[in-house]
Amino acid sequence: MSDSLDTRTQWLSEEELATARGQLPVVYVDAVPVRTDLNGEVTQVGLLLRAMPDGSISRAVVSGRVMYGELIRDALIRHLEKDLGPLAMPQIPATAQPFTVVEYFPDPTVTGFHDPRQHAVSMAFVVPISGDCTPSQDALDLVWVTPAEAATLTFQAEMSGGQGRLVKMALAYCGVLF
């Protein structure tokens, strides 16, 4: 192994990534950003508006790949800062635990979680956010809604690839959606 290869900052070329996506699952993290009250109860859910891989515009949670050699917690922080801005101040415990593991497939009938590019395995986290958020990078907008609003058919219809189901699972995990 070459000492010049920094696995913390290097990633695959587009061609190598396409080959890898066709041959093995890719590890991701999903983060459902929430605001909480003084008792720690979820009062708002942050939903991004972003361009999806298929060219459509959709509401989504924070999501992204885990790089080789990267800690899961570091991947969460990197993607939260990338999508919500550097002042979001995510509250991630030192030993973060996912509330579920989601498998995305190119075939939407396998699990209901769909990514047309690949088979991806994603650890999903609920992450309280205490700072100011400014959508950046791939995020076009960010809206904060109540848990009840996030579970409505209107917002569910704005999410693709199973993201609406993931948000409902996160809210049920937090005890605010039954």
0.85 exceeded by the pTM?
A: yes
CATH code of the domain covering residue 127: 3.90.79.10
The pLDDT value recorded for residue 178 is 61
Indicate whether 95 belongs to any domain: yes
The pLDDT value recorded for residue 139 is 83
Confidence of residue 143 (pLDDT cuts 50, 70, 90): very high
Q: Is 60 exceeded by the pLDDT of residue 5?
A: no
The pLDDT value recorded for residue 12 is 72
pLDDT, tens digit (0-9, with 9 covering 90-100), for 55-114: 788 999 999 999 988 999 999 999 999 999 999 999 998 889 999 999 999 999 999 999
The pLDDT value recorded for residue 131 is 95
Whether residue 84 contacts residue 72, with contact meaning beta carbons closer than 8 Å, is answered with no
Place of tokens 């695959």: 12
Q: Is 60 exceeded by the pLDDT of residue 4?
A: no
**Nearest-5° angle of CA 105, CA 55, CA 53?**
35
Indicate whether 146 belongs to any domain: yes
The pLDDT value recorded for residue 68 is 87
Span 119-137, average pLDDT = 93
Q: Is 50 exceeded by the pLDDT of residue 1?
A: no
Indicate whether 31 belongs to any domain: yes
Whether residue 146 contacts residue 46, with contact meaning beta carbons closer than 8 Å, is answered with no
Indicate whether 125 belongs to any domain: yes
Question: Which residue stretches of the chain are H helix?
Answer: 14-23, 72-84, 147-150, 153-157, 163-173
Whether residue 17 contacts residue 118, with contact meaning beta carbons closer than 8 Å, is answered with no
Q: Which range of residues forms the domain containing residue 141?
A: 19-173
Indicate whether 4 belongs to any domain: no
Indicate whether 12 belongs to any domain: no
pLDDT, tens digit (0-9, with 9 covering 90-100), for 9-64: 556 787 887 777 677 789 999 999 999 999 999 999 999 998 866 778 899 999 99
Indicate whether 9 belongs to any domain: no
Measure the CA–CA gap between 27 and 123, rounded to whole angstroms. 8
Whether residue 122 contacts residue 134, with contact meaning beta carbons closer than 8 Å, is answered with no
Q: What's the domain count of the chain?
A: 1
Indicate whether 1 belongs to any domain: no
